[in-house]
Amino acid sequence: MSLSLNDLLKAIKEARQRAKKRNFRQTFELIVSFEGLNLKDPSSRINEVLTLPNPLTVKEAKVCVIAEGDLALKAKGAKADLVLGKADVQKCQADKKYAKKIAKAYDFFLAQADLMPVIGRTLGPFLGPRGKMPSPVTLGTDLVSVISKLRNSVRLKIRNNPVVQCKIGVEDMKDEEVAENAKAVLDFLKEKIRHPARIKSVYVKLTMGPPVEVSPTRARGG
């Protein structure tokens, strides 16, 4: 399926029109389903992070950094949403409710490289199934840049179902910006999903609105 920026823009405008006004900022979501995808083959499953061309401005992704000492101070200075130390992570082994809360509340995790083994034993069982295992960082990492980039990124996952669902904007963004984000996601997925699998359908919707299918423009004549 080949979809143009105009195809996406048309569907986004319709999704906006069909959604009722709510007393909170709704999120635009993109839903992409595939056919011919063999999920028994590990190479068909993806867990990728994509930085969107247009910042989401609100509902930014939340970033948790797990670190000690100077790196923890650096993470706080970089305005990470949460900074956990080794003792906090070890608490997750005994307090599963606490561990689940952290795994659910934060979108991306960064961790001091030498803490990765203890994270794997404690918080890992809660992050792994969600595809959120931390990326290692060191004192030399530009945390301000990394965290800023992650806040405007989305995680694209295919695990048990041949479907990718992700946010592509919020309702106070311009339709053109949301469409550009959607196109970036689709272009990225086309590179990752190999033949013979292909995109079966694409929908866009606002949080509380109905899904609107994105249809390719039909060429005139024959």
**pLDDT tens, residue by residue, 119-145:** 999 999 999 988 899 999 999 999 999
CA distance 76 to 145: 13
User: CB of 156 within 8 A of CB of 166?
Assistant: yes
Q: Which amino acid is at 94?
A: A
Which CATH architecture group holds 5-58+152-213?
A: 2-Layer Sandwich (3.30)
Q: How far is CA 185 from CA 7, 24, 40, 111, 136, in A?
A: 14, 25, 24, 26, 25
**pLDDT tens, residue by residue, 49-58:** 999 999 886 6
Q: What are phi and psi of 150, to 5 degrees?
A: -65, -35
Residue ranges covered by each domain of the chain: 5-58+152-213, 63-150
% the chain with pLDDT above 90: 68
Confidence tier at 200 by pLDDT (50, 70, 90) = very high
Mean pLDDT on 4-31: 92
The domain covering 63-150 belongs, at the CATH homologous superfamily level, to: Ribosomal protein L1/L10, domain II (3.40.50.790)
**pLDDT tens, residue by residue, 78-96:** 999 999 999 999 998 889 9
CB atoms within 10 A of CB 6: 10
| Lookup: tokens for 38 | 């063999």
pTM: 0.80
**pLDDT tens, residue by residue, 138-181:** 999 999 999 999 988 999 998 889 999 999 999 889 999 999 99
CA distance 50 to 64: 18
Confidence tier at 197 by pLDDT (50, 70, 90) = confident
